[in-house]
Structure 1
Amino acid sequence: MVQSDMITISKENEVYMKVDCEPSITQELIDFFTFQVPNYKFMPSFRQKKWDGKIRLFKRIKGIHGYYNGTYGGLYNKLIDFAKSRKYGILGGDDYRVIDNPKTKEIIGQFVDSLDIHLDDEKITVRPYQYMAIHEALTHKRCILVSPTGSGKSLIIYCLIRSYQQNSNKKILVVVPTTSLVEQMYKDFDDYASAVSWDSEDNCHRIYAGAERETEKPIIISTWQSIFRLGQPFFEQFGMVIGDEAHGFKATSLISIMEKLVNCEYRIGTTGTLPDDSNINLLSLEGLFGKVFETTSSRELMDKKILAQLNIHCIQIQHSDEDRKIVSKLEFQDEIKFIVTMPERNQYIAELVNSECIGNILILYTRVEQHGQVLYDLIPKYTDKNVFFIHGGVDALEREGVREAVEKSNDNIVVASYGTFSQGVNIKNLHNVVFASPHKSRIRNLQSIGRGLRTTEDKSDVNLYDIADDFRTNDKDNYTWNHFLGRLNIYEEQEFNYEFKVVDWNE
């Protein structure tokens, strides 16, 4: 019999915890763990009246012995907060409590040092915040590590898998959002282990683009798109899962993968940016992985000279009165199309990268045929630099070849779609980033900035050119101008330095 003011918690499996309590408390929990999905009114299932636009994380779950009330194990701390705020007692839950032995930190530090990690034939000094992140993940077993681009997330992941390999015979699943990241992660692991006998070829199997799913190797690195439709038996072999760039996973696909990992004790998400709810809600992400742990910030790493100094050049194009009248009547998608197909704007970008950008340049766009292809065809007319064109149709090995070419010289321009190069791709020798297409996503903005923040011996700063299209009239502010103001707020929030340049096309 359940006591009227008590909540009893037990572990059903590595995905769910079972919760027993009075019906009235159950209803409170349902309300507490229910949220409205952003922009739900525009989703087909809501319009077809098949769904009310809400996600309920506390629910009836089908178990081996029948149905029970419960939620994701990663929400244990949220459940405790709920109980405390309402003065309910808690029974059980020992499986979710973490007892941190003071010696654990020392032991983990010694293990990391023993890995003798190298990069480009030089021994790497693991930084304090990386030790902290590794300790947090191995001690709590469930967490989301938030660490900015350029802070060495792949090194943290490498240390985690090496530690788990030493202590368990179960396999490890590393899930990434793009094929480029599969190859990059594989190569990074090999570089880190270059001074020891461990290597990627013997330990890691890559899955993407139709590759074989079955392997005897202990580590699988895969895109989420390649495995989310596989049945549960495939996932039962894993004891550790690491979701890299976890914010970028499509919600239904990530849930499909994580809910099938019923034997997976270690559930670690890594990201440079917390979600803005465009793909998956933060509460859902914490439920699938665990609580958020922020390792450091871009501003802190810049101040310590670990990341390059960021110089943001906000270019405000004041468009002609005639164009302002046209755009004032357009809906959002039509405004984007109008902007990216303006010949004079594309010519301005081509002249900008030729006259103001020294070193390697990454130009990011959104629409392949309407904008990316146009820029790729136009830019060689203004520069002698090598120009590469990257989009979703370019295979992973070719993208990796472009990345390696940029690392080896300073006379390259990469015209790349946001989806392929805005996140995860590691290019140290990048001196300039140009936002050629308007965008509003907080995550895309911060991830794109991160492409240029890594340092080299010859590089200590990076330039970002943020092109803002001002079509404002007395009656209306245009959509993309408002999106630019959102990016400006992010620069303020992150304490980034920026300056304005006005280009008046009325003159």
Structure 2
Amino acid sequence: MNRPAKITITNEVNCIVTGLLPDHIDYFYEAYGKYAPNYFFQKRFTLGKWDGKIRYFYKKGNTFVYLLDEIVPKLYAFGYKVNLVDQRTGGFVEIPQIDKTYISHIINPKTGKPYELRYYQVDSINASTQVGHGISIAGTGGGKTFTTAILSDLYSKAGLKPIVIVPNTSLILQTIDEGFNELEMDVGEYSGDRKDINHKSVVSTWQALQHNPEMMRQFDVVIVDECHGLKGQVLTKLLNEYGSHIAYRFGCTGTLPKPEADAMAVRIAIGDVVHTKPAHELIEEGYLARLHISVMQLDEPFKEQYEEWKRDNPGVKMTYIKFKDSYFPTYKAEKSYLQLKKERLQWIADLIDTRRNMKKGNVICLVTSIAFGKRLQKLIPNSKFVYGKDKAKIRKQVYNLFEEHSDLVVIATAQIAGVGISIDRIFNMFLIDIGQSFIRTIQAIGRGLRKGADKDHVDVIDVCSDLKYSKRHLRERKKYYKEAKYPFKVHKIDYAA
């Protein structure tokens, strides 16, 4: 006879499984334990007080609704008879399927013709509304702003109130101006500067909402732009605790995080991927600009130090490459050297200036340090530097200059400009010592893939070094480039010659 097990769904996020044998509790506890990124650096792990895993199924049976599609078949396989108790109220709101003419009553000001949705935008929207949740993956420039606005419009027409959560205030302005306003849809803004929510839809940031998380209780639909950010605790808490009543939850992104724990954090909050349109397909089909990545791996000169070491250590054998690899004991020390080396900085500045002076030479250069960005900006005449302390409207004014100039150089921190900005006329993109983060790398390249009236190609220049940690990071980025099917070539540069 089958052993009874009970699943109680308490809200749109959480549920609890009871009646399991201890061995089966342990099975799910281990199966849904995922190693946290960099867990081995955490003090709790090194002291033996934590196994490095984040749990998504707990010893008392607490787990998440969006994992039940996997958990229930396993319960049946273990011989349980499952009793489901759903404490949620309200039925499923049916949203009509749309086609490419959904916004054809609006004229595109750039072409003078009615707007027409791309086929994959239609597929993404219909796939999302059919199940009422899920993640849509599309390359940057694939039209996610329109997709987000139309999802909001469909649910507001059904009598529900959507909120769109974006990563920063720059994206509030972009989402409202280039999405809702352009499609003539009613929208309000909830940010540090404005608290205007008496509209059919609202666009906000998680930073603004964290100061008033109870605001989430006013909404029936949540759409998270750049939803890979759900790995962060604040955004996760907004959706899973204060927004646990929200039945309709969607996310869009160009990339999901690689670490299993980060990917699981997105999944339990929004659900599984319902539609995918990778960037390389958008490029092949002509929706995005073609690209080529030139990796400039700079040879750092340590010959003098090596010869001195050999004189001080006679009889000890070590190759020049191993000597260089061991010269800096930590990543922090290596990074400090690379960002302070004057000759290296000047070489990078000269290369950027050369690209800027080419026909159609607009450059955006992404850096990972404010101090480094400021030093680089001083070496490039008439260049501009933007970072987090600049107001969103100021940053937008700088980004708008790309439409009017063909020799513009904008240096920006990857944290600010590496996600979500919409600039068509980027002809050259520099990534300076960008690191090994999959999200940062792929999202950053996405900034350059948008097509413009006079642009169908972008050159990406990945500047790095041949020192230990930089080489390790490049190996990871090369894996990402291959996975994304981005063409690249590595050039070894003796810049000190």
Q: For the superposition of Structure 1 and Structure 2, which TM-score range results when normalised by the shorter chain? A: 0.7 to 0.9
Distance in 1 (alpha carbons) for counterparts of 2:221 and 2:68:
19
SS at match of 2:297: strand
Would you say the 8 A contact 1:132–1:295 is kept in 2? no
Distance in 1 (alpha carbons) for counterparts of 2:435 and 2:491:
19
Per-residue CA deviation, residues 52-109 of structure 1 (Å, 9 max, x unaligned), is: 432221237xxxxxxx84322222222235336646554438899xx999xx897332
Task: Please give the root-mean-square deviation of Cα atoms over the aligned residues, in Å.
Answer: 2.9
Distance 1:16 1:404, change over 3 A: same
Q: Which residue of 1 aligns with 2:245?
A: 263
Distance in 2 (alpha carbons) for counterparts of 1:258 and 1:414:
35
Deviation (angstroms), 1:115:
6.1
Distance in 2 (alpha carbons) for counterparts of 1:419 and 1:165:
32
- Could you tell me which runs of 5 or more consecutive residues in structure 2 were left unpaired when the two chains were aligned: 306-320
Would you say the 8 A contact 1:327–1:335 is kept in 2? no
Distance 1:445 1:81, change over 3 A: farther
Pairs within 5 Å for 1:211-250: 211-212=194-195, 215-232=197-214, 234-250=215-231
Q: Are 2:189 and 1:188 aligned?
A: no
Deviation (angstroms), 1:290:
0.3
Would you say the 8 A contact 2:95–2:158 is kept in 1? no
One-letter code aligned to 2:36: V
Pairs within 5 Å for 1:472-491: 478-491=468-481
Would you say the 8 A contact 2:166–2:203 is kept in 1? yes
Per-residue CA deviation, residues 369-410 of structure 1 (Å, 9 max, x unaligned), is: 1x1000111111xxxxx4221111111110111111112322
Q: Which residue of 2 aligns with 1:77?
A: 69
Aligned residues: 471
Per-residue CA deviation, residues 286-335 of structure 1 (Å, 9 max, x unaligned), is: 11110113421111111111111111111121221337756632110110
Distance 1:412 1:71, change over 3 A: same
Pairs within 5 Å for 1:266-305: 266-277=248-259, 281-305=262-286
Q: Are 2:146 and 1:155 aligned?
A: yes
Distance 1:283 1:438, change over 3 A: closer
Q: Are 2:340 and 1:334 aligned?
A: no
Q: Which residue of 1 aligns with 2:370?
A: 368
Pairs within 5 Å for 1:17-36: 17-24=15-22, 25-36=24-35
Would you say the 8 A contact 1:100–1:139 is kept in 2? no
SS at match of 1:107: coil
SS at match of 1:242: strand
Per-residue CA deviation, residues 169-220 of structure 1 (Å, 9 max, x unaligned), is: x4222111112111111112244325xxx34xxx21231x3644x7322322
Distance 1:33 1:129, change over 3 A: same
Per-residue CA deviation, residues 153-174 of structure 1 (Å, 9 max, x unaligned), is: 1111011000000002x42221
Pairs within 5 Å for 1:94-105: none
Q: Are 2:169 and 1:179 aligned?
A: yes
SS at match of 1:281: helix
Q: Which residue of 1 aligns with 2:313?
A: none
Distance in 2 (alpha carbons) for counterparts of 1:44 and 1:115:
59
TM-score (norm: length of structure 2): 0.87
Q: Which residue of 1 aligns with 2:312?
A: none
Per-residue CA deviation, residues 128-173 of structure 1 (Å, 9 max, x unaligned), is: 11111101111111211111111111111011000000002x4222
SS at match of 2:451: coil
Distance 1:427 1:293, change over 3 A: same
1:394 corresponds to which of 390, 395, 398: 390
Would you say the 8 A contact 1:119–1:191 is kept in 2? no
Q: Which residue of 2 aligns with 1:456?
A: 452
Would you say the 8 A contact 1:73–1:288 is kept in 2? no
Distance 1:122 1:181, change over 3 A: farther
Q: Are 2:406 and 1:410 aligned?
A: yes
Q: Which residue of 1 aligns with 2:188?
A: 204
Distance 1:185 1:441, change over 3 A: same
Would you say the 8 A contact 1:74–1:142 is kept in 2? no
Deviation (angstroms), 1:44:
4.8
Deviation (angstroms), 1:249:
4.1
Distance in 1 (alpha carbons) for counterparts of 2:73 and 2:471:
40
Distance in 2 (alpha carbons) for counterparts of 1:296 and 1:446:
14
One-letter code aligned to 2:478: L
Distance in 1 (alpha carbons) for counterparts of 2:126 and 2:109:
22
Distance 1:453 1:21, change over 3 A: same
After the TM superposition, which of the residue ranges 485-494 and 85-94 deviates more from structure 2?
85-94
Deviation (angstroms), 1:49:
7.0
Deviation (angstroms), 1:435:
1.0
One-letter code aligned to 1:397: K
Would you say the 8 A contact 1:19–1:70 is kept in 2? yes
Would you say the 8 A contact 1:321–1:506 is kept in 2? no
Distance 1:110 1:346, change over 3 A: closer
